[in-house]
Structure 1
Amino acid sequence: MSGDRLSGALDFLREAERLKSTLRSGYTSTGRPESTAEHTWRLCLMALVFSEEFGDIDPLRLIKLCIVHDLGEALSGDIPAVLQTEGFDKSARERADLEVLTKALHPTKRAEILALWEEYEAASSPEAVLAKGLDKLETILQHNQGQNPADFDYAFNLDYGRKQTSAHPFLAEIRALLDEETRERAEGSKG
């Protein structure tokens, strides 16, 4: 790797580090707000753990898609699903931020990351469809596991990401278990 290419890659990695401080709406099991980097890490772990259940897919491609799916949030942050308004194009904002974030990379690597993100957004491959479903499931899993505020809306999760989590029988199987946990958490939060 040439000096310029290495320098650009390190600059990119320094900027991407911001995901460690980009907070999401979920809470960890200790009650601390979850970061986007933490969400992405567990999403990748889910992809690794469950990859054999998805049949003939490329597990490395699945993990790459999971790694880049929220990368654009390093610049403008995350907007929780419950706060997204009609007419706001979260995807366009994240794409623009991703273009800025990757500008220091070698053009070939930059093009690869942008193409992976586009594939994820469009759900244009079996791996991207699975990544989108796992993304929703990881969020629900964290909401069920987290030490959430007293007014946390568990009912929202019962409809959240239904299309994406129905895209594969194994995703639907995980979803059924998480929906049951969600109902239990909702009941427990009432008392």
Structure 2
Amino acid sequence: MEKIADFLFEAGMLKRIPRSGYHFLGGGKESVAEHSFMITTIAFALSRMDREVDAGKLLAMCLLHDLPEARTGDLNYVQKKYCSADEGRAIDDQARGLPFGEEYKALVAEFNACETRESKLAKDADQLAFVLDLRTLIDTGHNGADKWLAVVMERLVTDTGRQLADAILARAWDDWWLNGYSE
């Protein structure tokens, strides 16, 4: 039981670790935990759009995919050119002694391999969270965010992910409350 309690305390560290890629945008910020929440929420929607996926596996993958960053930190694309994190070692150490350790390791490995339907949707959820953030930054006047959008859109691997991205881009970040809620 102590190992599970420690695992949960460690997961809580993600609330304190900032995502590093936003430094290059000049706007926006989030913690790794906020990112994990958002992509898990997106994955829930994707699992309802594609009923052939194992929704539980998809959600678990999204929830856990960045947990190694509690030990390694969040390296952005530039940092990864010069530094490397031993994610495998971090995962092995985190999983050791957990009754669900092997399942955790398998979920992160499947996410990283991006070969199954669930892992492809999980990767798309990861990118769609960024599409939402970029759309918000564009709509709120942050210059430069539009340059990143084409790059992020190219990373989408499923038709379902591309359809949702198109729907996101067809809306303004505040349409959800301006068109109905404020009436």
**Structure 2 alignment gaps of length 5 or more:** 173-183
Q: Could you tell me which residue of structure 2 aligns to residue 123 of structure 1?
A: 114
> Does the alignment pair 1:18 with 2:13?
yes
**Structure 1 alignment gaps of length 5 or more:** 1-5, 183-191
Q: How many residues align?
A: 167
1:172 pairs, out of 139, 159, 162, with 162
Query: By percentage of residues, which structure has more strand?
Result: 1
Structure 1 distance, partners of 2:83, 2:146, is 24
Identity fraction in percent:
25
2:4 pairs, out of 1, 9, 22, with 9
Matched AA of 1:97: A
How far residue 45 of structure 1 moved from its aligned partner, in angstroms, is 1.0
How far residue 19 of structure 1 moved from its aligned partner, in angstroms, is 0.5
Per-residue CA deviations over 1:52-82 (Å, capped at 9, x if unaligned) read: 211311111110110111111111211223x
Q: How does 1:28-39 map to 2 (within 5 A)?
A: 33-39=29-35
Is contact 2:65-2:111 (8 Å) kept?
A: yes
How far residue 16 of structure 1 moved from its aligned partner, in angstroms, is 1.6
How far residue 112 of structure 1 moved from its aligned partner, in angstroms, is 0.6
Structure 1 distance, partners of 2:117, 2:141, is 36
Q: TM-score, normalised by structure 1?
A: 0.74
Per-residue CA deviations over 1:91-149 (Å, capped at 9, x if unaligned) read: xx22222222333423xx11110010000000131101110011111122123325989
Runs of 4+ in 1 over 6 A off after TM superposition: none
Could you say what the CA RMSD is over the residues aligned between the two structures, in angstroms?
2.8
